[in-house]
Structure formats: C-alpha cells, structure tokens
Structure 1
C-alpha cells in the first residue's frame, strides 16, 4: 500500500475478450456491499469515459458499477492505455475515489482496478456465485479500518568520500590503508544502523499487532520510492477496530524518534489489504 492508499494497479483478469463482440459498453464493478447498504455515490464520477455510477443488486449483495465504452476498455485497449503512467494514475484515482465514497457509508469490499464484465447479467452472476465469500469478507471488516505502518532506516549523515583509489600524491605511506579503513568503518556503521532498524521494525510490528485484529506484511518499497538516503525495512497493513486509533498511536509512540529510524503511520484507509477482491470477482 502507498501513502495515498491507491488500489493495486495491475489490470485484473476479467471475462472480457480482447475484442468484445457485438457490444458497445462493458460493466465495470468498483465495490460490493451488503444488499441495500450501497448507493451510487455523489460527488464522484468514476471513469471519465463512462456513464453514471449506479447500483447493481445481486442476491444478498449490492455492487456499485458503471457502464464504460468497450472500445476503450477491452483487454488490448487497457494494456495499451495503462502502460502510460499518467493514464494509469488517472484510472487508479478514479477507481479509488469511487471505492472511498462507497466505503464512507457502508462496509465495502473494493474490487481491483478494471474489474469488467460483458454486461450486468454476467457481473451479477459472478457476484452471486461468490456471495458467501463476499459476505464472509464483509463480516471480517465490519467496524474495522486499515492503517499502514512503514519503518525506514536512515543512514547517518557523513561527508561524502572521494570515489576510486586514493590520489597518487597522497601524503604518507599509510594514506591508502587509512582510506580503506574509513570505507570499512562506514560500511560497518551502515550495517549497524540497518540491523538496529530491523530490530525496531519487529518491535513496531508486534506493538501494532497487539491492537489490530489482523495484519499483513507488504512488499517493501525500493529506493525509487523511498529515496537513496533511506531504506524501508517494514511495510505493513493492520486491520484496526474503529475507535482504537488512539490506542494504536500510543502503542507506536515509543518508537517515534528512534535514532537512525523513521516511522510513518497512515490511515485510516478502506481495508484493501484484507478483502482480497481479486480472488472474489
């Protein structure tokens, strides 16, 4: 999960063929709630190319859906469009805005970006076929929200060392040995900071789990996301009962300001990490 809590932006495998036959629109499903709980959210429009947001009854469930043009949302078209980072971000934000608006009024299972069906009947059939699993997930997340915790190790600020071997004109016979010794000491210092951050991360995780009802370790972000001066050692999501936010903050407070460590708490978010909508749709 990122700080903006956007959904997984991998194009979700759907029952839509590469070129949908004899149809002008597809049904895009954003989120699923218990029957009668969801309503078409006001103030958000979904995908700009699509029609109005609406609800789709499906047995004991209700989905929030939108008709989208088949020509722009076939698998081939989506692969091409979402290869562009700007278009991908626009689609992901549109999806997330709908999910967040629905979740503001009802317990919600968010579905992955670009969950598409040929028509309403096929979408309804898929939802009813997974009805029991959706209801189980809704039971799990009712009255609970997701919080994200990230821990980074931050290397101590030191004066940059000259790269390459010591200059030929270095004074004294021990200059080269001293240069290598400084490099070795810096590596050892970085390793010590990293090991200390890992231990702190484990304590942070244990403290958060003591408050949460469920937890997930997520893939750590690389330097392209964290920056070159810090390294992520914990990226985790916690499912926390509503009303326990203060307790969570108090549990993590002792680790704020730990030397060489940065701790970030974000949320609350729609519980994307605990609904596994990709396995349900």
Structure 2
C-alpha cells in the first residue's frame, strides 16, 4: 500500500498536497470584499450529496441591511444540495444568532449596527460546519390533487394527464403546480402512488399509470360493474436523478367523454424520498 506524505524535497508532490489541503479547509470561506461594502464574499466550495458532487463558484452575499438602531447578528447559510448562499436575519439587539433553517448549513455570523456602512473581516465570524454527522436523508415528499375541481371532457381510450393543481404539503418543493408534475431536486429512490376516481359506465375499463419523463410505466386498471365512479390506484419505486427526471399521473377509460373526480381523497398523487 502506498501512502502520500509531505516531502519538502519533492516540490511537485508538496504542491499537490497543499492544493488538496486547501480544498479541504477552503470551501465557502467567508471574508470581506477587497473594497468593503455591505456585501461579503464566499470562496468557491463543493458539496457531496450521495453520489452527486456539486462544485459551487465564488459568491457575493448581500447586501445586508443594517438595523435602524441598536445592533443585529445575521447568519449566512448555504443550501445543503445546491450550495447557494443566503442570509438569515437576526433579532434586533439579541446576542443569539438566528436559527439555522432546515436544509441549510452554517457559514458565518455577521455583526451589524446602525452605524455600519461597510462590512470588514472583524464583523464576520466564521462558523462553517459543512459535515453534519447527524444529518438524515433530506425531506422530500408531497401530496398533490385536483383541488376539489373535477377534470371533465376526458376522451375515451386515450391516456390523459391528470392536471393536479393543488398540494396539501410539498416539503422540498418537489411538486411543480405550474407543470403539474413531481420533479425533485434531490437524486435518489422515490415511492410514488397515484390514484384516480373516474366517472364510468358499467362494462367499461379504466386505469391509472405513472409516467416518468413522458413515458408510461406502472399501471393498474379494472372493469366497471355499475354506473358510478370507480377508483384505480398504482404504486411503484422509481429512481429520479434530481435534475431532469420528472413524474406525471395519467389515467384512461373506455367510456365516452367522462370525468376525473376532483375530491382530493379520490384523485391524488403522493411521492416520498426513500434515499
């Protein structure tokens, strides 16, 4: 087994070692601007999310808004997934910094008072803690539905997208109401359940399907035995890459033009991150 060691006589190896050391200790280093103003600078950084390595360019954070009177301690954090920096404003005249929001990692505290016109390095307290040993899987889950409005005029014998328009919860913002699909920003395996309630006459078939990236997959169907609404449901586990992959809900029936019932307990899609 070979081990890399620091060797002052081997300048090329020493340079490489120092470059690695800098990469370990340098990510997201906060400091004042070369010409100080009401913003601060963060050095480039990187984040490892499962098997996804995200390289983040240098960032400018702010401008900060000094308090009208007294003092305030603000906090700079970065998103655990994207590395994007943001400011969490503190409470006026409190020595306790603001709480670290869910899904964020702390980078720095910034002291501001009513006389602050520029932020110097003396006002910045480095508190980078980029490796959270207690951090569990990110919370990404949603429940989307038709918001109580029936989707009408569904053509017979044609797989039709269910236009989910509302959410009961959407932790991680994976469900996109505008596009009516689930498109999470975290890669991994997801449990997906789709259910629809269809107005259908006796003797006709119906079904629901989970589409990934515009292609149908898991499917469950049935045959109506009476002239009323019927429920079809399907559940599957899918891998989504956290960037381009998305999931939609489609349904079909062999009746004439018909309806997907809008009651949120009848027609809905549920998605949750497994890891």
Query: Which bin holds the TM-score, normalised by the shorter protein?
Result: under 0.3
Between 1 and 2, higher relative CO (CA 8 Å, sep ≥ 6) is seen in 1
Determine which structure has the larger strand proportion and give its number: 2
| Structure index of larger Rg | 2
In the superposition, the TM-score normalised over structure 1's length comes to 0.25
Determine which structure has the larger helix proportion and give its number: 1
In the superposition, the TM-score normalised over structure 2's length comes to 0.26
